[in-house]
Amino acid sequence: MKRQLVTLTLAGALITSTGAFANTSTIIAGENGPNGPNYNGNETIKNERLHSYEEMSDLLQKLDQKSEALELEVFGQSVKERDLYLAKFGMNEDNPTILFLTQQHGNETLTTEGALQLIKYLTNNSKEVKHIIENVNILVAPRLNVDGAEGDVNFSLDDYVSGTHTRYNANGVDLNRDHVDREQPETKALHENVLQKYSPDYMIDLHHQGTQTTLGDTGELVSGSILYPTNSEVDEEVREQSKKLGAVVYNAVDSKGYGLLSKYPGGTAQTISRNGLAAEYGISTLLFEMRGMADHYREDYVLGQKSNGYLIQQAVVAMKSTLEALADDTLESADASFWDTLPESNYSGE
Ligand SMILES: [Zn+2]
Protein backbone atom coordinates (compact mmCIF):
# COMPACT_ATOMS: atom_id res chain seq x y z
CA MET A 1 0.00 0.00 0.00
CA LYS A 2 2.74 2.38 1.05
CA ARG A 3 4.84 1.40 -1.95
CA GLN A 4 1.93 2.08 -4.27
CA LEU A 5 1.49 5.57 -2.85
CA VAL A 6 5.17 6.33 -3.33
CA THR A 7 4.85 5.42 -7.00
CA LEU A 8 1.91 7.76 -7.36
CA THR A 9 3.91 10.44 -5.61
CA LEU A 10 6.55 10.43 -8.31
CA ALA A 11 3.99 10.64 -11.06
CA GLY A 12 2.14 13.40 -9.22
CA ALA A 13 5.20 15.52 -8.58
CA LEU A 14 5.35 16.69 -12.17
CA ILE A 15 1.88 18.19 -12.29
CA THR A 16 1.52 19.48 -8.76
CA SER A 17 4.56 21.76 -8.94
CA THR A 18 4.94 22.55 -5.27
CA GLY A 19 8.46 23.68 -5.88
CA ALA A 20 11.69 22.32 -4.50
CA PHE A 21 11.80 18.77 -3.21
CA ALA A 22 14.48 17.84 -0.71
CA ASN A 23 14.91 14.16 -0.02
CA THR A 24 15.52 14.56 3.68
CA SER A 25 13.88 12.29 6.22
CA THR A 26 10.35 13.00 7.40
CA ILE A 27 10.07 15.71 9.98
CA ILE A 28 8.25 14.63 13.10
CA ALA A 29 5.82 17.32 14.11
CA GLY A 30 4.72 17.28 17.71
CA GLU A 31 2.28 20.12 18.25
CA ASN A 32 -1.36 20.51 17.30
CA GLY A 33 -0.75 23.90 15.71
CA PRO A 34 -1.10 24.61 12.01
CA ASN A 35 2.40 23.29 11.53
CA GLY A 36 1.60 20.32 13.73
CA PRO A 37 0.80 16.72 12.82
CA ASN A 38 -0.35 15.62 9.43
CA TYR A 39 -2.36 12.64 8.32
CA ASN A 40 -0.54 9.64 9.78
CA GLY A 41 -2.03 6.82 7.80
CA ASN A 42 -4.45 5.51 10.42
CA GLU A 43 -6.63 8.51 11.05
CA THR A 44 -9.92 8.62 9.20
CA ILE A 45 -10.19 11.78 7.13
CA LYS A 46 -13.34 13.46 8.30
CA ASN A 47 -14.49 16.50 6.47
CA GLU A 48 -17.73 17.17 8.31
CA ARG A 49 -16.39 20.40 9.79
CA LEU A 50 -16.28 21.70 6.25
CA HIS A 51 -19.25 23.28 4.50
CA SER A 52 -20.64 21.20 1.66
CA TYR A 53 -21.78 23.17 -1.38
CA GLU A 54 -25.36 22.99 -0.12
CA GLU A 55 -24.40 24.24 3.34
CA MET A 56 -22.26 27.03 1.90
CA SER A 57 -25.15 28.19 -0.31
CA ASP A 58 -27.56 28.11 2.62
CA LEU A 59 -25.19 30.08 4.83
CA LEU A 60 -24.53 32.74 2.17
CA GLN A 61 -28.22 33.16 1.42
CA LYS A 62 -29.12 33.38 5.09
CA LEU A 63 -26.45 36.03 5.68
CA ASP A 64 -27.61 37.92 2.59
CA GLN A 65 -31.18 38.03 3.89
CA LYS A 66 -30.26 39.38 7.31
CA SER A 67 -27.47 41.78 6.33
CA GLU A 68 -27.80 45.23 4.80
CA ALA A 69 -24.10 45.39 4.05
CA LEU A 70 -23.79 42.16 2.10
CA GLU A 71 -24.87 41.86 -1.48
CA LEU A 72 -24.75 38.28 -2.73
CA GLU A 73 -24.38 37.74 -6.44
CA VAL A 74 -24.27 34.62 -8.63
CA PHE A 75 -21.57 35.33 -11.18
CA GLY A 76 -21.66 32.12 -13.18
CA GLN A 77 -22.10 28.37 -13.12
CA SER A 78 -19.71 25.47 -12.91
CA VAL A 79 -19.44 22.60 -15.43
CA LYS A 80 -22.03 20.72 -13.34
CA GLU A 81 -24.17 23.89 -13.21
CA ARG A 82 -23.63 24.82 -9.59
CA ASP A 83 -23.97 28.55 -8.97
CA LEU A 84 -20.74 30.46 -8.30
CA TYR A 85 -21.12 33.02 -5.53
CA LEU A 86 -19.64 36.46 -5.06
CA ALA A 87 -20.12 38.28 -1.75
CA LYS A 88 -19.84 42.07 -2.14
CA PHE A 89 -19.42 44.75 0.53
CA GLY A 90 -18.97 48.49 0.12
CA MET A 91 -18.71 49.21 -3.60
CA ASN A 92 -17.99 52.93 -3.40
CA GLU A 93 -16.05 53.94 -6.50
CA ASP A 94 -13.73 56.22 -4.51
CA ASN A 95 -12.43 53.29 -2.43
CA PRO A 96 -9.90 50.60 -3.27
CA THR A 97 -11.31 47.19 -4.15
CA ILE A 98 -9.91 43.88 -2.97
CA LEU A 99 -10.86 40.38 -4.10
CA PHE A 100 -10.37 37.29 -1.96
CA LEU A 101 -10.48 34.16 -4.10
CA THR A 102 -10.55 30.67 -2.60
CA GLN A 103 -10.51 27.02 -3.62
CA GLN A 104 -9.62 27.19 -7.29
CA HIS A 105 -8.44 23.73 -6.34
CA GLY A 106 -11.35 21.74 -4.91
CA ASN A 107 -9.25 19.83 -2.36
CA GLU A 108 -7.92 23.04 -0.73
CA THR A 109 -10.81 23.58 1.61
CA LEU A 110 -9.90 25.54 4.74
CA THR A 111 -9.38 28.74 2.75
CA THR A 112 -13.09 28.74 1.96
CA GLU A 113 -13.95 28.11 5.60
CA GLY A 114 -11.89 31.21 6.39
CA ALA A 115 -13.65 33.18 3.64
CA LEU A 116 -17.07 32.18 5.01
CA GLN A 117 -15.99 33.33 8.49
CA LEU A 118 -14.82 36.63 7.01
CA ILE A 119 -18.13 37.14 5.20
CA LYS A 120 -20.00 36.41 8.43
CA TYR A 121 -17.75 38.84 10.32
CA LEU A 122 -18.44 41.58 7.76
CA THR A 123 -22.19 41.22 8.29
CA ASN A 124 -21.93 42.24 11.95
CA ASN A 125 -22.76 45.88 12.55
CA SER A 126 -19.78 46.70 14.74
CA LYS A 127 -17.93 50.01 14.53
CA GLU A 128 -14.85 48.15 13.36
CA VAL A 129 -16.69 46.56 10.43
CA LYS A 130 -18.42 49.81 9.49
CA HIS A 131 -15.03 51.50 9.33
CA ILE A 132 -13.76 48.81 6.94
CA ILE A 133 -16.80 48.84 4.67
CA GLU A 134 -16.83 52.65 4.52
CA ASN A 135 -13.26 52.61 3.22
CA VAL A 136 -12.80 49.40 1.24
CA ASN A 137 -14.79 47.56 -1.41
CA ILE A 138 -14.65 43.86 -0.65
CA LEU A 139 -15.30 41.02 -3.05
CA VAL A 140 -15.17 37.46 -1.78
CA ALA A 141 -15.41 34.59 -4.27
CA PRO A 142 -15.44 31.52 -2.06
CA ARG A 143 -14.78 28.15 -3.72
CA LEU A 144 -14.35 28.70 -7.44
CA ASN A 145 -14.02 24.95 -8.03
CA VAL A 146 -17.37 23.90 -6.58
CA ASP A 147 -17.54 20.60 -8.52
CA GLY A 148 -14.03 19.42 -7.56
CA ALA A 149 -14.85 20.27 -3.94
CA GLU A 150 -17.85 17.92 -4.06
CA GLY A 151 -15.91 15.21 -5.86
CA ASP A 152 -18.58 15.56 -8.58
CA VAL A 153 -16.29 15.17 -11.59
CA ASN A 154 -16.04 13.23 -14.86
CA PHE A 155 -13.10 11.09 -13.77
CA SER A 156 -12.30 8.58 -11.04
CA LEU A 157 -10.98 9.54 -7.59
CA ASP A 158 -10.19 5.94 -6.69
CA ASP A 159 -6.50 6.68 -6.17
CA TYR A 160 -7.19 9.56 -3.74
CA VAL A 161 -6.66 9.13 0.00
CA SER A 162 -10.26 9.95 0.84
CA GLY A 163 -11.89 10.14 -2.62
CA THR A 164 -14.00 13.16 -1.70
CA HIS A 165 -12.21 16.22 -3.14
CA THR A 166 -10.02 16.94 -6.15
CA ARG A 167 -7.77 19.72 -7.36
CA TYR A 168 -9.34 19.67 -10.85
CA ASN A 169 -12.72 20.85 -12.09
CA ALA A 170 -15.30 18.41 -13.47
CA ASN A 171 -13.52 18.35 -16.83
CA GLY A 172 -10.22 17.44 -15.17
CA VAL A 173 -8.75 20.90 -15.78
CA ASP A 174 -6.60 22.83 -13.28
CA LEU A 175 -8.47 26.14 -13.08
CA ASN A 176 -5.34 27.92 -11.91
CA ARG A 177 -3.68 27.16 -15.25
CA ASP A 178 -6.63 28.54 -17.24
CA HIS A 179 -6.29 32.29 -16.63
CA VAL A 180 -5.12 33.09 -20.15
CA ASP A 181 -7.35 30.86 -22.31
CA ARG A 182 -10.37 30.80 -19.94
CA GLU A 183 -11.76 27.65 -21.54
CA GLN A 184 -13.56 26.50 -18.41
CA PRO A 185 -16.90 28.05 -17.32
CA GLU A 186 -15.54 28.82 -13.83
CA THR A 187 -12.53 30.84 -15.00
CA LYS A 188 -14.45 32.46 -17.86
CA ALA A 189 -17.12 33.68 -15.41
CA LEU A 190 -14.51 34.91 -12.93
CA HIS A 191 -12.81 37.01 -15.59
CA GLU A 192 -15.89 38.38 -17.35
CA ASN A 193 -18.24 38.84 -14.41
CA VAL A 194 -15.88 39.66 -11.55
CA LEU A 195 -12.45 40.85 -12.69
CA GLN A 196 -13.54 42.83 -15.76
CA LYS A 197 -16.75 44.05 -14.14
CA TYR A 198 -15.41 45.23 -10.77
CA SER A 199 -11.73 45.93 -11.61
CA PRO A 200 -10.21 44.99 -8.25
CA ASP A 201 -6.98 46.75 -7.26
CA TYR A 202 -5.83 43.87 -5.06
CA MET A 203 -6.35 40.15 -4.94
CA ILE A 204 -5.36 37.44 -2.50
CA ASP A 205 -5.55 33.95 -3.97
CA LEU A 206 -5.80 31.37 -1.19
CA HIS A 207 -4.56 27.80 -1.62
CA HIS A 208 -3.17 24.82 0.28
CA GLN A 209 0.15 23.04 -0.26
CA GLY A 210 1.69 19.73 0.89
CA THR A 211 2.01 19.16 4.63
CA GLN A 212 5.81 18.80 4.73
CA THR A 213 6.76 22.27 3.50
CA THR A 214 9.60 23.74 5.57
CA LEU A 215 11.19 27.12 6.16
CA GLY A 216 14.25 26.96 3.93
CA ASP A 217 16.53 24.15 5.08
CA THR A 218 15.73 24.66 8.79
CA GLY A 219 13.50 21.56 8.84
CA GLU A 220 10.79 23.65 10.55
CA LEU A 221 7.33 22.99 9.11
CA VAL A 222 5.58 26.17 7.97
CA SER A 223 1.92 27.05 8.43
CA GLY A 224 1.91 28.68 5.00
CA SER A 225 3.84 30.22 2.13
CA ILE A 226 3.35 33.46 0.23
CA LEU A 227 4.45 34.96 -3.09
CA TYR A 228 3.88 38.05 -5.25
CA PRO A 229 3.65 38.01 -9.08
CA THR A 230 6.99 36.98 -10.54
CA ASN A 231 6.54 37.23 -14.31
CA SER A 232 8.35 39.91 -16.31
CA GLU A 233 5.16 41.30 -17.94
CA VAL A 234 4.00 42.72 -14.61
CA ASP A 235 4.40 46.46 -14.07
CA GLU A 236 7.01 47.15 -11.37
CA GLU A 237 4.61 49.34 -9.43
CA VAL A 238 2.05 46.53 -9.36
CA ARG A 239 4.74 44.14 -8.14
CA GLU A 240 5.78 46.61 -5.39
CA GLN A 241 2.17 46.95 -4.20
CA SER A 242 1.88 43.16 -4.22
CA LYS A 243 4.97 42.92 -2.03
CA LYS A 244 3.43 45.44 0.40
CA LEU A 245 0.25 43.38 0.50
CA GLY A 246 2.49 40.45 1.39
CA ALA A 247 4.16 42.48 4.14
CA VAL A 248 0.81 43.20 5.79
CA VAL A 249 -0.16 39.52 5.69
CA TYR A 250 3.26 38.37 6.85
CA ASN A 251 3.31 40.71 9.84
CA ALA A 252 -0.25 39.80 10.86
CA VAL A 253 0.34 36.04 10.66
CA ASP A 254 3.81 36.26 12.18
CA SER A 255 2.42 38.04 15.23
CA LYS A 256 0.21 35.03 15.96
CA GLY A 257 1.94 32.26 17.89
CA TYR A 258 0.88 29.63 15.36
CA GLY A 259 2.10 31.32 12.21
CA LEU A 260 5.33 30.55 10.35
CA LEU A 261 5.56 31.56 6.70
CA SER A 262 8.05 30.86 3.93
CA LYS A 263 8.45 32.25 0.44
CA TYR A 264 6.64 30.07 -2.08
CA PRO A 265 8.96 28.92 -4.87
CA GLY A 266 6.46 29.71 -7.63
CA GLY A 267 6.97 29.93 -11.36
CA THR A 268 6.39 32.70 -13.90
CA ALA A 269 3.55 31.23 -16.00
CA GLN A 270 0.89 33.77 -16.85
CA THR A 271 -1.78 31.05 -16.79
CA ILE A 272 -1.63 31.22 -12.97
CA SER A 273 -3.85 33.89 -11.41
CA ARG A 274 -1.02 35.37 -9.27
CA ASN A 275 0.88 36.23 -12.46
CA GLY A 276 -1.90 36.48 -15.04
CA LEU A 277 -4.19 38.90 -13.20
CA ALA A 278 -1.28 41.15 -12.31
CA ALA A 279 -0.07 41.26 -15.92
CA GLU A 280 -3.43 41.53 -17.67
CA TYR A 281 -5.35 43.85 -15.34
CA GLY A 282 -2.65 45.47 -13.21
CA ILE A 283 -4.07 43.86 -10.05
CA SER A 284 -1.65 43.61 -7.14
CA THR A 285 -1.79 39.96 -6.20
CA LEU A 286 -0.64 37.71 -3.41
CA LEU A 287 -0.64 33.93 -3.37
CA PHE A 288 -1.18 32.43 0.08
CA GLU A 289 -0.59 28.68 0.33
CA MET A 290 -1.68 27.17 3.63
CA ARG A 291 -0.59 23.85 5.06
CA GLY A 292 -2.15 20.57 3.94
CA MET A 293 -5.11 19.46 1.85
CA ALA A 294 -8.44 17.75 2.52
CA ASP A 295 -7.69 15.05 -0.02
CA HIS A 296 -5.08 14.13 -2.59
CA TYR A 297 -3.58 11.07 -4.26
CA ARG A 298 -0.32 11.98 -2.49
CA GLU A 299 -0.59 10.86 1.13
CA ASP A 300 1.94 13.44 2.33
CA TYR A 301 -0.26 16.26 1.01
CA VAL A 302 -3.25 15.30 3.13
CA LEU A 303 -3.72 16.90 6.50
CA GLY A 304 -5.87 15.39 9.22
CA GLN A 305 -8.32 17.69 10.92
CA LYS A 306 -6.41 18.45 14.12
CA SER A 307 -4.99 21.67 12.71
CA ASN A 308 -8.12 22.91 10.95
CA GLY A 309 -9.08 25.52 13.53
CA TYR A 310 -5.71 27.27 13.47
CA LEU A 311 -5.44 27.19 9.69
CA ILE A 312 -8.92 28.65 9.24
CA GLN A 313 -7.93 31.42 11.66
CA GLN A 314 -4.74 32.01 9.71
CA ALA A 315 -6.82 32.62 6.57
CA VAL A 316 -9.14 34.99 8.44
CA VAL A 317 -6.18 36.88 9.93
CA ALA A 318 -4.61 37.27 6.49
CA MET A 319 -7.78 38.69 4.96
CA LYS A 320 -8.77 40.87 7.92
CA SER A 321 -5.32 42.40 8.22
CA THR A 322 -5.36 43.56 4.60
CA LEU A 323 -8.83 45.04 5.01
CA GLU A 324 -7.66 46.98 8.07
CA ALA A 325 -4.52 48.15 6.28
CA LEU A 326 -6.56 49.39 3.33
CA ALA A 327 -9.19 51.00 5.56
CA ASP A 328 -6.55 52.76 7.68
CA ASP A 329 -4.42 53.63 4.66
CA THR A 330 -1.36 51.93 6.17
CA LEU A 331 -0.71 49.56 3.26
CA GLU A 332 1.33 52.27 1.50
CA SER A 333 3.80 52.46 4.37
CA ALA A 334 4.18 48.68 4.73
CA ASP A 335 7.85 47.65 4.69
CA ALA A 336 8.33 45.07 1.92
CA SER A 337 12.04 44.53 2.61
CA PHE A 338 11.32 41.31 4.55
CA TRP A 339 10.97 39.58 1.17
CA ASP A 340 14.74 39.90 0.66
CA THR A 341 15.46 37.65 3.63
CA LEU A 342 12.36 35.44 3.78
CA PRO A 343 13.58 31.82 3.28
CA GLU A 344 12.10 29.93 0.37
CA SER A 345 10.12 26.78 1.02
CA ASN A 346 11.74 23.43 0.99
CA TYR A 347 9.83 20.17 0.90
CA SER A 348 10.74 17.25 3.10
CA GLY A 349 8.06 14.83 1.86
CA GLU A 350 8.96 11.43 0.53
ZN1 LIG B 1 -4.07 25.34 -5.06
Tell me, what's the pLDDT at 34?
53
What is the DSSP-derived secondary structure letter of residue 311?
Answer: H
Q: Radius of gyration of the chain from Cα atoms?
A: 19
Tell me, what's the pLDDT at 54?
97
Q: Which residue has the higher pLDDT, 150 or 295?
A: 150
Instruction: Render pLDDT for 6-47 as a digit per residue (tens, 0 to 9).
Output: 333 333 333 333 333 333 333 333 344 555 545 544 444 455
The proportion of the chain whose per-residue pLDDT surpasses 70, expressed as a percent, equals 85
Instruction: Render pLDDT for 275-286 as a digit per residue (tens, 0 to 9).
Output: 999 999 999 999
Cα-to-centroid distance, 205 and ligand 1 (Å): 9
The fold adopted by the segment(s) 2-9+69-347 is Aminopeptidase (3.40.630)
The proportion of the chain whose per-residue pLDDT surpasses 90, expressed as a percent, equals 71
Cα-to-centroid distance, 327 and ligand 1 (Å): 28
Cα-to-centroid distance, 108 and ligand 1 (Å): 6
Instruction: Render pLDDT for 165-213 as a digit per residue (tens, 0 to 9).
Output: 999 999 999 999 999 999 999 999 999 999 999 999 999 999 998 888 8
Question: pTM to 2 decimals?
Answer: 0.87
Tell me, what's the pLDDT at 349?
65
Cα-to-centroid distance, 78 and ligand 1 (Å): 17
Judge contact between 211 and 300, C-beta under 8 A: yes
- Where do the structural domains in the chain lie, given as residue ranges? 2-9+69-347
Cα-to-centroid distance, 227 and ligand 1 (Å): 13
Tell me, what's the pLDDT at 22?
34
DSSP characters for 84-139? EEEEEE---TTS-EEEEEE-SSTT--HHHHHHHHHHHHHTS--HHHHHHHHH-EEE
Instruction: Render pLDDT for 319-350 as a digit per residue (tens, 0 to 9).
Output: 999 999 999 999 999 999 999 999 999 887 65
